[in-house]
Chain A
Amino acid sequence: MSSTDSRAAIFAAIRANRPKIQPPLPDVPLFDEKAPSDLVTAFSEMLVKMGGKVLDPQGQDPISALRAAVADKGIIATCVPELHGDASLQIRQILPDMDPHSLADVEIGVVRAAFGVAETGSLCLTDDELIVNTSGYLPQHLIVLLDPSQIVANLHNAYRRPELREHKYAVFQTGPSATADIEGVLIHGAQGVRSLRVLFCPEQD
């Protein structure tokens, strides 16, 4: 059987066997009437519960805090303009034509999230932000810049954002890579990044 024949056979079988009822598709409410007013705090609390951390600038400006966090940490790959041009750092600027494998030796990746989700502490990273998708996965650690004004209350709101329709690839990343496949013992850094830190930092125009 060719794939085309199989397609026809599958559709014929569905039409023959499908239950003969026509229930409507229900409307899905936003369920956000009781959403917290302070989304930054709500997001941060969930992020921490999910294994992520907030990179606290401790009074400095966020970019100085970012520089301090990556200084002398090995190869830094960045998708964001904030760190470009700093000769004191071992910075590798991620460019669209890079081979996905070329990020395998990176210690810390720096990327900006499109938005955050307070309900789950998730960050939406798209192929626009990642530039090379493996920049979210091959580095040992990840620092994500998030504009505090770009946090939605919950997943219902998140799925109404344009990013999920416009991008070839988009991920809700929530904390670091994790596994508990052996006796429920939680370990960070199963295959992807071992740690994830979020730096609140409005986007530069």
Chain B
Amino acid sequence: MSIENQTAPTTPAGRTNDGAPANLTHGAGASVTMPARGPEPQPRGAIIRGNHPIDQQEAARRFMAAPQHLAMHDQRLWDLRKKRDGQKEIIEEWEDLRQLASDIKTHTLTHLDTYLEQFEKNAIANGVKVHWAKDAAEHNSIVAEILRSKNAKSLIKSKSMLTEECGFREAMAHEGVTVVETDLGERIQQLDNENPSHVVVPAVHKLRTDVAEVFAKTLGSDPNNSDVSYLTEQQREHTRPLILKADAGMTGCNFAVAETGSVVVCTNEGNADLSANTTGLHIVSMGIEKIIPNLNSLAVFVRMLSRSALGSPITQYTSHFRGPRRGAEMHIVIVDNGRTDRLGLEKFWTSLKCIRCGACMNTCPVFRRSGGLSYGATYAGPIGLIIDPTFNRHKYSTLPFSSTMNGSCTNVCPVKINIHEQIADWRQVLAENHEIPAFKKSMMKAAGALLASPKLYRASLPMADSALRHLPRFVLYNKLNTWTRGREMPHVPKETFHQWYKRTRGVDGKKK
């Protein structure tokens, strides 16, 4: 059993020295050969122009024009998807667990008030101070007030999508609080002044040469050394003193257990545990939808989360904080920020089941080829398409169109959110609210009339197919038709199914 003296040979993933042994692919580790790539200038995300609708396609085109980044990103995320499939194959009860996870979330969200009350009562009994924030601004001001009361000027934190949603770091900068992200990917993004591009692997869109450039500028590391062990070690050596000097620690919350009043945080780096346990003050940011009823339910989600996200059986650290340490303080800020509104949307409330595993992003052909920052929103990829418009229907009105509707996102979702159906429903809602681009609207109107009448539709098909065969390329592959950008139209059969049926079976349906 002992592999005490296991050496770490040069590996397919490019590990050269002190990295993990080559045969291991736990955590977010890649299982495939990642060839040397770069340097290549990093394509940046969507251009944000105030409240104007995000032009995801423009940013996606720039990402696709960077072949090294595109190839790495696509290969890396598809590998995570395949690792996830590998775990699914091992776990016989996988589909039972998905159904349980979905049913537990349905039950909890329809009894959300009861479970939040139970959670609050138990957390307070455990010695935790509980705060409630209606929106992002209130979340930030509550945290600022807690920090002020302790005269805390520096804060170490683990990754939290909720704090991204709240624009937390920017708000703290105005308060004179120094925030240090302790997750490696999130720290890279903080130092590069960029948002996370993926909920689980925040810097997945960056090549190692990009990271070397960022670290050289900000940490003073060697700009020509893009060895991953070296870069990771640079970050460890740089962050550790900041962790030890910090006045306060902050974490997000993956799950909040009503029965025990505990919050559960999952990381691979152990950075949440360091953030929470090193200083005398631990602040937790938690969305109201993170509640689950009890520990038996928690087992279902912990079994699913990392397997769905990374194809790893569990995160290296699954940490349960039930109350403050002796002599320390623990605060939980419970945040709404649009979630109760979402709960009231008949077609979209089940998006609140999301456990932020990112499986839908890893499998999405659009996401893999455009990068998370092209969405110009806190949440990218398929889940982003159905959550972002709830924050701002105008600004994110174009996002639900960034999908091929292949349904893969729905198939991999561990809590069985019907993501692709909700994408279609959002298109409808946005069309009804006049939030869709003019060209799409005129096309859809024409298509709508055609599809509404079987006779018109059948009559149009041979004509359309014939047109597809004979029209000059420039008519199909023009600037207005985004579908054919980067795609070839399918080969068109010479006759339609109805024509074939009539020819071979005649009117009575019997074979001729």
Binding site for B on A (CB under 8 A): 1, 3-4, 6-7, 9-11, 13-19, 21-26, 28-29, 31, 34, 44, 46, 48-51, 53-56, 58, 96, 100-101, 104, 119-122, 127, 133-134, 136-138, 154-156, 158-160, 164-165, 167-193, 197
Contacts and interface: CB of A to CB of B under 8 A. Distances in A.
B313 to A, nearest CB: 5
Contacts of B132: 3-4, 6-7, 10
Nearest to B268: A178
A108 to B, nearest CB: 14
Given A28-B100, A133-B277, 10 more contacts: A6-B132, A14-B288, A17-B343, A21-B106, A54-B3, A122-B314, A134-B274, A137-B278, A183-B72, A186-B28
Interface stretch (B18-26, B473-481, B490-498): B18-26
B185 A185 contact: no
B343 A18 contact: yes
B110 to A, nearest CB: 5
Contacts of A44: 1
B391 to A, nearest CB: 16
Given A51-B20, A55-B2, A183 B322 contact: no
B231 A182 contact: yes
B320 A164 contact: yes
B59 interface: no
A168 B116 contact: no
Interface string B22-66: 001111111000100000000000000000000000000000000
Interface stretch (B204-212, B406-414, B449-457): B204-212
Contacts of A6: 132-134, 138, 336
Nearest to A156: B299
A191 B157 CA distance: 12
Interface stretch (B163-171, B290-298, B371-379): B290-298
A191 to B, nearest CB: 4
B285 interface: no
A182 B184 contact: yes
A50 B295 contact: no
A142 to B, nearest CB: 10
Contacts of B131: 3
Nearest to A28: B296
Given A169-B325, A185-B19, A190 B109 contact: no
Interface in B308-322: 312-322
B42 to A, nearest CB: 13
B497 to A, nearest CB: 40
Given A168-B324, A184-B30, A189 B236 contact: yes
B462 interface: no
A114 to B, nearest CB: 12
Contacts of A174: 26, 313-318
B239 interface: yes
Interface residues of B, number: 113
B112 interface: yes
Nearest to B107: A25
B494 to A, nearest CB: 46
B213 interface: no
B203 A181 contact: yes
Contact of A24 (B107, B185, B344): B107
A182 B228 contact: yes
B113 A23 contact: no
A179 B295 contact: no
The 5 closest A-B pairs by CB, nearest first: A192-B270, A184-B30, A17-B344, A186-B29, A181-B185
B133 A3 contact: yes
B269 A26 contact: no
A10 B130 CA distance: 14
Contact of A17 (B15, B25, B244, B340): B340
27 contacts: A3-B138, A6-B336, A9-B134, A11-B117, A15-B113, A17-B343, A26-B104, A26-B107, A31-B96, A56-B4, A100-B277, A137-B274, A156-B296, A170-B319, A170-B322, A175-B316, A177-B317, A178-B27, A181-B183, A181-B188, A182-B231, A184-B34, A185-B14, A185-B19, A185-B29, A189-B236, A190-B268
A192 B317 contact: yes
A181 B316 contact: no
B299 A182 contact: no
A192 B299 contact: no
Contacts of B268: 177-180, 190
Contacts of B312: 50
Interface in B97-155: 100, 103-104, 106-113, 116-117, 126-127, 131-134, 138, 142
Given A50-B313, A168-B325, A183 B208 contact: yes
B138 A28 contact: no
B203 A13 contact: no
B161 to A, nearest CB: 16
B260 interface: yes
B323 interface: yes
B302 interface: yes
B24 A186 contact: yes
Contacts of A96: 326
